[in-house]
Structure formats: structure tokens, C-alpha cells
Chains A and B, each alone.
Chain A
Amino acid sequence: MRFFSKHIKVRKRDIPAGLWTKCKSCSAMVTQSALESNIMSCPECNYLYPLPAWKRLRTLFGEGEFFEIDSRMHPNDPLKFVDSMPYPLRQQSAEKRAGIPEAVVTGIGSLGGFAVACAAMDFTYMGGSMGSVVGEKITRLIELAIEKRIPLIIISASGGARMQEGALSLMQLVKTSAALARFNRKRLLYISVLTNPTTGGTTASFASLGDITIAEPGALICFAGPRVIKQTIQQDLPEGFQKSEFLLAHGMVDLIVGRKELKAKLIEILTLLETPKFTNETIRGVVAQNGGVNFGPGPLEA
């Protein structure tokens, strides 16, 4: 018996991609391609799966409409941090898994003709945690937006500050918030988009400082995670606690917008606030002028 079962057992990774998966939320059997074409949300129950940074950017920007900056920044290991695994090894496996060198992609793009500075965080890279690189890239993006006087859109997906960089990570909360203080005084528009999950130090800094805050449906948005709270208060948590709809009811976000509707909603807001319009060529020029940054087709056109 044992001999057979060993051979019959099908391992998860043996199922070819593009076939059926069981929805985490409603248990419906859906095909991988149906999931992908629905922007990583379940066609049956609309449960939102994590959306990697570049896939997110593709939902907002068309071919040749987004130009990445600061693409060559890598984390190092200032604390020589070792837990069950040295930090550099964690970085390597995260990069392999996420296909990008850190937990955020930043750049300038044309969103329906509006020039915007845009960041998309990537939960697949070490839980979207904010260390020195994420803090620096977000700060540079904010400073570039100030210089060019264009609106800022940050799409957050993050477990908070990155433990492996200790207090250096904690200080990124201040760095990004200080840059946003300057941005805010220039009377520029910042739209913060909170996706599943946005927690901890990310929520306690730039993610909560938008002029307008948009949440994805059903996203977990909080400071302390539900597990920590349950442990602390030793009680069951209220229904829907810390989900987007709960935050909307408690006055913590402006509106809830689905993945497919996000682009149109952003453009609607940019139009109402009469932010400047630019052609792709102008934007490309802006990126080129900004010495040292990578511009050009980028993975969107690849």
C-alpha cells in the first residue's frame, strides 16, 4: 500500500500552472487563467489575491506609459541580521520569488494623460516590508513629485517595518512622513491606495497621509494585526474587524474601489482637481532629466 500511495500522491507543484485552483475564500474551483484575467480576484466571490507590483501597474498604465526610476537599488545588511536564516539569503529568495530587487516599484507615468508619480508595493517581496530601500525609494519619488509639481499615488501592500533592518526601518516612517510634510505644503495631491494587507509601520506613516484614501474591497488595513490584538485582549474580534468596509464605517477611508474600477476612479479625481496633463514624451523627458534614473520601456513593454 505504502509503495503505491507514495507514487500516486500528487504534489502541489506538479499541477501545471494555468489549471484549476480552489479559491481560498469561497472554495470554488477556478482556473488560474480566469483568476489572472480577473486581475487576481476570484470570478465567483471577488476575493482579492495579492497583486504583484508590476501586475498592479499594468492595470493602471498602458504600453509605454510608465517609466520606472531607481530600479537599481538593493538592500544590504547593516545589522548583520541572522535569525533562522541570514538576511542576505532572505533577500535572495525574496528576489527570486518576487522577480524584483525590493518590495516597491516607483516611477512616473501617464494616467489617462495626467502625469503622476506612482509607487506600487509588492507583498511577495518579504511581505512588502519597509526597510531602507523602500523608505528611500518612496522618499525620492515624493521629492521628484515636488520638483515636477505632479500628483502622487502610492499603492500600499505591506506588513509594516522590516525587522531585519531594526531601527533603520523604523526611521523610514519618519523619512517618508517628513517628505510628505513638504509635499503637502506645496499644495500637491496625494492619493493613497490601501490594498490587502496594509499594516504596521506602513499604515502608521505614508499610507495614512493621503489627501484622499482609497481602500480595496475586503482588504486588511490596520496598525496592529488581528492576531496580536486577540492575544492582548483575550476576546473574539468583531465581525469584519479591520477590513476596508469596517474602516469606511469608522471614518478612516474615503472610498472603496475595486481593482477593475481603480484606474477610472483615479482619473476622475485627477480631472476634478485639475492636475496638469502631459504627453508621454514630456514624461519621458522628465525621467531622462532626472539624472541617474533608469527610464525607457521597462518591463511594461518587455
Chain B
Amino acid sequence: MNGGFDFEKPILELEAKIEGLKKLPESHAVDVSDEIKSLEVKLDLARKEIYSNLTPWQCVQIARHPQRPYTLDYIRLVMDSFVELAGDRLFANDPAIVAGLARMGARTLMVIGHQKGRDTRENLHRNFGSAHPEGYRKAHRLMKMAEKFRLPVVSFIDTPGAYPGVGAEERGQAEAIAYNLRTMAELETPIIVIIIGEGGSGGALGIAVGDEVMMLAHSYYSVISPEGCAAILWKDHSKAPEAASTLRIAPKELLALGIIDRIVPEPLGGAHRNYERAAREVKKALADSLDRLADIPMKELMEKRYTKYRRIGSFEEE
């Protein structure tokens, strides 16, 4: 399955046509190569047209695309090696957050990220990328290890939200997230955050405090899911597209609001259409960011991180 959204229909139709023409036997009386060429030009234009004018809700849909590359895909394509480390040492290992040591070029990094499943079986295991407190506490443990060994932290964000369940509440979901926020605010090592799909509220934020926060072009980041917001404020789930626009959750708007620092481009048609190219963009963005941050003395970095968050907010004062 590739795409299948309503707004992608013109693209899918053109693709099917081209595919059909290409399948014609060589012996076919009419030469179709010119027609294929002209259709390919049209396809290219259609993709550009559609993907440069996405509505926020379409952005949400692409961010949730079941074929979108996930954290472990990026780790496989971007990192030279990866040793996954498990467990919070308190209760369990949460497969909804993966973490471990990774090599990228000349650097060893601590990589953390939400992990969704590709199919039903894997999603049951990964809990659809919705972490329990154990996931945040594993991340906490490994961030402290990163600080100890002065390894930069790279955090991949892709979650619909922290898991709202009985066990999660009993074991202190809120406390686990709050401690991560406090720890990340003063962690003495550079932290780079990249939102690769869904940036679902506190569940995303729990591993998303950083010196540089980036977003892939077709990802979203929001205080509440558009559906949740629609249910509460419009009393109607189906108003999610309106809520998505009103909440300003698309990368460009968040950049303008000063919530994120940069947008990482995606291949035309979305990261799910070309994993390698998406990974190349991510790798380039991470390498640039690591270079920038490596030059800043730790004390200055801490001060900059504090000031960055200290400034966020909009209010009047007489």
C-alpha cells in the first residue's frame, strides 16, 4: 500500500496509467514511449502541486502513514552501527521507546526514539509507539549515561501520545515525563531532537527537550491530538481537520512560533516514497547540527538551552 489518501488520487491515477502503459508488450503496434514521457511530466507536476500545498490535516495523515520510515529505519539507514540497550532497571523494558549507542561517522551517540510497529503483531508489541512510564525512565537512565560519557543525545520523535492506561497511571506516567523534562533541561551534553512523524503532546515532549529541535516536512507536533481537541472543543470527532488547522501543528507554523529550530526536507511525495533519500536528509541535518553544537562550550550551551525555552510564550503585561 502506498498512499491511498484522497488528496493523492491524481498522483495514484497517473502512476497507474504509466504502469499500465509500461506493461504493454514490446510488440505492441503503437509506440507509447512519448505518451509515458508526457505522463511522467504530468506526474511530477501533480506531486509538486499537491505536496507543496498540503493542509495541516493532510500533514497529519502523512505523518501517520503506515509505510512511513520509523526510528529503527532511520537508525539502520543513518547510523554505521547500533547497540540497543534495554530496560529502566525498575520495572520493565518498554518496546515503544528504543534506545542505544550508535556510531555516525566519527561520533558515538546516544540515540533514543519512539518506535511504532509495521503490522498488527508488531504494533501490539510496540503499543503503536505509545510509551509507558518505563519507556521514559529507560530514556532517562540512558540520557544520564550519555551525560556521563559526554555523548550527544539524538532523539527521534514519533508517537500519538503517552499511553493512557491503568498500569501507566499506577506507575506514574506524569512523574516519569516531568522528571525527563527537568533532566533534559540541564543535561550536560548536546541534545538534538527530530520529529519524524507524530509529535503527540506530553508523550512526545518527554524525550523532546533539546538544543536543536527539527521536524521533517510532513510531520506534526501538537499539544493535543486533532481528534481529541475536536472532541473537547467542538464536541465532534469529525472536526479534526478544523482542529488541525486551528492548533497550528504543521512544521512551518511551529517554526514561525519559535517552537522548532528547523525543517528537514522530505523527498517529493513524503518520506515513505523514498527511505534512502529521506535518511540522507536526516543524516545531513543531524551532522550539521552536531557540528554546530560541538563548538559551543558546555556552560554556554546550558545557558542557551535555558534561554531558548525561557522565552517561549505570548502574553500582555500592563
Chain A residues with a Cβ under 8 A of chain B: 70, 72-76, 78-79, 81-84, 132-133, 135-136, 139, 161-163, 165-175, 177-182, 184-185, 200-201, 203-209, 222-224, 228-229, 232-233, 237-238, 241-242, 250, 252
Contacts and interface: CB of A to CB of B under 8 A. Distances in A.
B223 A166 contact: yes
Given A161-B223, A178-B309, A206-B178, A223 B169 contact: yes
State the majority secondary structure of interface residues on B: helix
B56 to A, nearest CB: 11
B202 A175 contact: no
A163 B201 CA distance: 11
Quick one: which of A171, A207, A232 has the most chain B CB within 10 A? A171
Contacts of A168: 257, 259, 312-314
A238 B166 contact: yes
A209 B181 CA distance: 10
Contacts of B318: 72, 74
Contacts of B168: 223-224
Contacts of B315: 73-76, 132-133, 136
Interface string B288-318: 0000000000000000011001101111111
A254 B306 CA distance: 30
Contacts of A76: 314-316
Interface stretch (B5-13, B91-99, B228-236): B228-236
B318 to A, nearest CB: 4
A151 to B, nearest CB: 18
Given A72-B317, A76-B315, A209 B178 contact: yes
Given A168-B257, A208-B175, A223-B164, A173 B202 contact: yes
A74 to B, nearest CB: 4
Nearest to B317: A73
Contact of A224 (B169, B172, B257, B305): B169
B195 to A, nearest CB: 11
Given A79-B246, A171-B309, A174-B209, A74 B317 contact: yes
A171 B234 contact: no
30 contacts: A70-B317, A73-B316, A74-B318, A83-B243, A83-B246, A161-B223, A166-B249, A170-B259, A172-B312, A177-B178, A178-B185, A178-B186, A178-B305, A181-B186, A200-B174, A204-B202, A205-B177, A205-B178, A206-B178, A208-B175, A208-B179, A209-B178, A209-B182, A224-B162, A224-B168, A228-B164, A229-B165, A232-B165, A242-B169, A252-B172
A44 B186 CA distance: 48
B248 A79 contact: yes
Given A165-B223, A223-B168, 4 more contacts: A170-B201, A170-B202, A203-B178, A228-B228
B229 A204 contact: no
Contacts, number: 188
Contact of A78 (B185, B232, B257, B305): B257
Contacts of B310: 139, 175, 178-179
A203 B259 CA distance: 21
A204 B313 contact: no
Nearest to A161: B223
Contacts of A84: 233-234
Contacts of A241: 166, 169
A182 B164 contact: no
B205 interface: yes
B159 interface: no
Interface in B216-274: 221-224, 228-229, 232-234, 243, 246-249, 254, 257, 259
Contacts of A203: 174-175, 178
B164 A232 contact: yes
Closest 5 CB pairs of A and B: A224-B164, A132-B313, A178-B185, A203-B174, A177-B181
A184 B166 contact: no
A201 B200 CA distance: 12
B202 A223 contact: yes
Interface in B195-209: 201-202, 205-206, 209
